[in-house]
Chains A and B, each alone.
Chain A
């Protein structure tokens, strides 16, 4: 089963 990835894996906090 695929697992849910976190948005912070792609975007960084600025």
Chain B
């Protein structure tokens, strides 16, 4: 028996919105410690790594480890049927063909059940080596989303250059070029508005706008985003999910031919 309950479906709704552009299907691995998803996009350029800890749920029970293949499009449609304040419960038997989503309104007067067929998927896991990153930047997630959106108008790629002075995003295309520089905030009262740079050595990397613009769909999950970069390794773009876990996106850089 697997059962996981969240007091408000809003978190799960936001998680689905944050992955649906990149993934069509994904395996949800459920164990005593929580729910994990690791999946690459079809082009093998980016990877989504989602971790929801069991202690972050209002109720969590997982008698046997389960790997449930889910269609992300269908799951997104089902989650859109829930109000943000509804309680959501995921339920499956030990060797499931289906998973049930149960939405209960706050006043308990409305109870909705949606059953979704699971799909058989080959489980492909990637070994991600422990990496000490040259630059780790924490910045407001809305600012990052804004910069990705703005610079996407100028080219297909954004170059991120990070040094002690700050972080610079730039894009160039047929119509011109653009760059946005953010300095490290000196003494931000509000943690959420801070730009913090932890730099061992400067880095300069180029990434496809298309993927960055998919990652920033996670913006509603967290006020801050963490970008970890080293020369010639994938970018890690991380959003905390309240007290329950995190979503990390890995993105292979564009390299000079």
Q: Which residues of A contact B (CB under 8 A)?
A: 1-14
B255 at the A interface (CB under 8 A): yes
Q: Mark B22-50, 1 if CB is under 8 A from A, else 0.
A: 00000000000000000010011111000
Q: Which residues of B contact A (CB under 8 A)?
A: 40, 43-47, 124-129, 157, 206, 208, 233-234, 250-257
Chain A residues in 8 Å Cβ range of B45: 4-7
Decide yes or no: A12 and B255 within 8 Å by CB, A6-B44, A7-B44 being known contacts. no
Chain A residues in 8 Å Cβ range of B127: 11-14
Pair count A-B, CB < 8 A: 56
Residue of B at shortest CB range from A2? B254
**B208 to A4, Cβ gap below 8 A?**
yes
**B252 to A2, Cβ gap below 8 A?**
no
Chain B residues in 8 Å Cβ range of A8: 44, 126
Decide yes or no: A10 and B234 within 8 Å by CB, A2-B206, A4-B45 being known contacts. yes
**B250 to A4, Cβ gap below 8 A?**
no
Chain B residues in 8 Å Cβ range of A13: 124-127
Sampled A-B contacts (18; CB under 8 Å)? A1-B257, A2-B157, A2-B255, A3-B254, A3-B255, A3-B257, A5-B255, A7-B46, A7-B251, A7-B252, A9-B252, A10-B233, A10-B234, A10-B252, A11-B128, A12-B126, A12-B127, A14-B125
Q: How far is the CA of A7 from the CA of B128 in the complex (A)?
A: 10
Chain A residues in 8 Å Cβ range of B47: 7, 11
Residue of B at shortest CB range from A8? B44
Chain B residues in 8 Å Cβ range of A5: 45, 252-255
